[in-house]
């Protein structure tokens, strides 16, 4: 399970780098994967948590 989620997370990060115009869609997918990891009690790497917070702040700013 962890390996699958880790692979999906890696793919999402690669997509974010290659397709920056789809950042919001990727952010939503990232949150979904991280929530799955949390639900299973899996650790979320600190750098990914920082990315999640940064993206959340970015999209909250654009809503205002």
pLDDT, tens digit, 9 for 90 and up, residues 6-61: 888 888 888 777 776 777 887 888 899 899 999 999 988 898 888 889 888 988 88
Closest CA to 13 of 40, 48, 60, 54: 48
The model scores a pTM over 0.95:
no
Range of the domain at 31: 2-63
Question: How much of the chain is helix, strand and coil, in % rounded to 5?
Answer: 85, 0, 15
What is the biggest distance separating any 2 CA atoms in the chain, rounded to whole angstroms?
38
């Amino acid at each position: 399970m962890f390996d699958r989620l880790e692979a999906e997370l890696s793919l999402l990060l690669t997509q974010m780098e290659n397709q920056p115009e789809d950042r919001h869609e990727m952010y939503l997918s990232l949150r979904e994967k991280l929530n799955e990891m949390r639900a299973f009690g899996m650790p979320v790497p600190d750098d990914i948590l920082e990315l999640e917070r940064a993206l959340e702040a970015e999209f909250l700013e654009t809503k205002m």
